[in-house]
Chains A and B, each alone.
Chain A
């Protein structure tokens, strides 16, 4: 073989090897976390590992639509993960445990299924914040300690004629017998209807009409929260709940119809029309539903999720404080907190 022919063959071989090998090498040496619609696989990989105190560098890309990335119970700004682009995130964990990362963009009807976990090993560094999962995980949620059946119907048999006013209730607050009604324990463990019934049956309040009692209940509910908490809950609601429940909690978010249709399709051969209804997002503007639910019950639904419904489990995502803020927000629909 002539020398020139040999050189040309070497050049061709080098070009082919380079064109095949170079992409393979860079692809293999640059691991990415791929985000896809849940029905196409969600996050891949969906289990990551890290060590306490060692920064975890993640490179995220979306393979289809705009997704988001955040880690539950961590004080971090969510990151947008754009199709075909790469977003860099660096996380440092102070506490060992299992953390949940999740999509923060309403990417599709199964958006909430887009989750993964980060297994953090090592010894606690002692510089963690109060929002670390270890602090939360040791405490059972109220619905468990109270033994609440959060799946049973909880409609209020009585509803007020007018939207109860916390301000009007405040004027009658002096009539409240004792201070137990204003404690967080009372607030969290009673539905507004239960509170109303208890107050209604209190002899010292017999001179108040039903609406005035409801106003007192509204006052009690407002007393257990602050405008800042409600605003924080509202923000969480808008980011995570409004896609299904609607911006004003009326159960008419942009995914509501799709959820109902999906539920109808899947339930057709199962338990019938009653179960089908369960696939539709809860309507918090429905006074019967809201006044019959205690904060502990609502928190339970948020943390555990709705079994057999489209309601996801937010336990691994929200801290206790965030979940109480989130619970406080929808009570601002049946109650008039500010006038």
Chain B
């Protein structure tokens, strides 16, 4: 498959290897992140006017799901400020590796938790409480701060970025969707790595740190676990690391066979559909149930939410995979078939987010204008009223996205089905049915 090695260009390579551009970005992102926490705590509790809510759940979300994930995969993880304070403390340095490392516990992450189930659980928790998380600035601030401190705490106890890899509720889905992105970091020649002594890409050297994500680059076959931090590009003594431009969806040629990732695909697909119904749909009772946390109706909503994700959506694919030979075969078939849901889920999220982001986009200017809710008029936008952005663009864009996602997932389903020797018709019909439901919900 054709790939273009971006790092062959010396300018690109130098820009990526040099720590200062990345550091400048880190400092700016950390400033913005902490400012968002403070704004959530101090500024108006009115969600659509609060910088924290608008910048996290509208602006950041738009950049993440509409641009960063589809085009750059884990590009966001490369600049995410959440792990930075913990990582700097862990390393005892903010730039190049120090001569003396600080003595933290540096434990290995427990093997039985070395999967994305915890990320799935944290994402589901956020999803179940999203109605209040998305509207209460203080709660958003508490969650942002909790993630920052959790990453710091884990950095003191466990080696590398254990928060990013195993706990971050956002990192999990970015990981599975990054397989569709047209960018990758890979080694050029595995034989060079085999002959390399010291493995500085994993263990670190004076030029850089060992992979913060705990990945041995020669073993990289898909994007899910590579955070694009570029440390291996700095540490490799043989110039054997490349950042490549590649066709979309390249990693899905070799489908995953992990149940945690398979269920992540269901969680994302189901959440997009449920959000479309709850946040954008005309059903006031469903909306009320989602908002009335702790009440009987909310428990019913939560039960329905989980049932859709863990029973209703997986069941048809499970039936396709069912041939009672043994459990391992079933798991492999099931998780392989669920690969088709990765492009489908991404398309669902893009289509849903277009509605969400375009209808709330005009709040971005207002919150930039007065980020602390103190009556400022910094960019003269005080009198700009709310209005939906690009209303005539929305429905065609959503339709195209969903139809494109269906075609993409159909092709992925075909390949996945042939991989595990089942008929491609049921998974393709499954994708079609899900797309029709999403079209009905959104359009």
Chain B residues lying within 8 Å of A22, measured Cβ to Cβ, are 35
Interface size on B, residues (CB 8 A): 30
Known pairs A19-B38, A23-B35; A84 contacts B49 (CB<8 A) = yes
Using known A-B contacts A15-B27, A26-B374, A64-B46, determine if residue A8 contacts B38 with beta carbons closer than 8 Å: no
Within 8 A of A (CB), among B42-97: 42-46, 48-50, 88, 93-96
CB pair A61 B373 closer than 8 Å: yes
Q: Say yes or no: is A86 at the interface (Cβ < 8 Å to chain B).
A: yes
The closest CB in chain A to the CB of B32 belongs to: A19
Distance, CA A23 to CA B34, complexed state (A): 10
Nearest-Cβ distance from residue B132 to partner chain A, whole angstroms: 15
**Closest beta carbon of chain A to B263's beta carbon, Å:** 37
B42 touches A8 (CB 8 A): no
Contact (Cβ within 8 A) B46 A20: no
B28, closest chain A residue (CB): A15
Q: Is A165 interfacial (CB-CB < 8 Å)?
A: no
Contact, CB under 8 Å: B48 / A27:
no
Given contact pairs A84-B46, A84-B50, A20 touches B38 in the complex (Cβ within 8 A): yes
Contact B94 A12 (CB under 8 A): yes
> For B38, what are the chain A residues with a Cβ–Cβ distance below 8 Å?
19-20, 23-24
**Residue in B50, B95, B370 with the greatest tally of chain A CB atoms within 10 Å:** B95
Determine if A86 and B375 form an interchain contact, defined as CB atoms under 8 angstroms apart.
yes
B394 contacts partner chain A, Cβ-Cβ < 8 Å: no
Q: Are B44 and A23 in contact (CB under 8 A)?
A: no
The majority secondary structure among interface residues of chain A is helix
User: Given A15-B30, A19-B31, are A61 and B375 neighbors across the interface (CB < 8 Å)?
Assistant: yes
CB distance from B31 to the nearest CB of A (A): 4
Interface residues of A in 175-219 (CB under 8 A from B): none
CA distance A2 to B98 in the complex (A): 9
The reply to whether B42 and A84 contact each other, CB–CB distance below 8 Å, is no
Q: Smallest Cβ distance from A11 to chain B, in angstroms?
A: 6
A101 to chain B, nearest CB (A): 19
Asked if A30 contacts B45 (CB within 8 A), the reply is no
A61 to B373, CA, bound (A): 9
Given the known inter-chain contacts A19-B34, A62-B46, please indicate yes or no for A12 contacting B88, CB distance below 8 A. yes
Report Cα–Cα, A309/B422, bound state, in Å: 73
Chain B residues with CB below 8 A from A4, complex form: 95
Residue of B whose beta carbon sits closest to that of A40: B45
Contact of B372 with A by CB under 8 A: yes
Are A5 and B31 in touch, CB under 8 angstroms?
Answer: no
Check if A32 is an interface residue, CB within 8 A of chain B: yes
A306 CB-CB contact with B under 8 Å: no
A61 & B44 in contact (Cβ 8 Å cutoff)? yes
Across the interface, name the chain A residue whose C-beta is closest to B33.
A19
Q: Are B42 and A23 in contact, CB atoms less than 8 angstroms apart?
A: yes
A314 to B312, CA, bound (A): 59
Q: Tell me the complex Cα distance, A85–B98, Å.
A: 49
Closest to B37 in A: A19
List of 5 A-B pairs having minimum Cβ-Cβ separation, nearest first:
A84-B49, A86-B375, A84-B46, A19-B34, A23-B38
Known: A9-B94, A19-B31. 13 other contacts (CB 8 A): A5-B93, A12-B27, A12-B30, A19-B33, A23-B38, A23-B42, A23-B372, A24-B42, A27-B374, A59-B375, A63-B44, A84-B46, A84-B50
- Name A's B-contacting residues (CB within 8 A): 2, 4-5, 8-9, 11-12, 15-16, 18-20, 22-24, 26-27, 30, 32, 59, 61-64, 83-86, 88
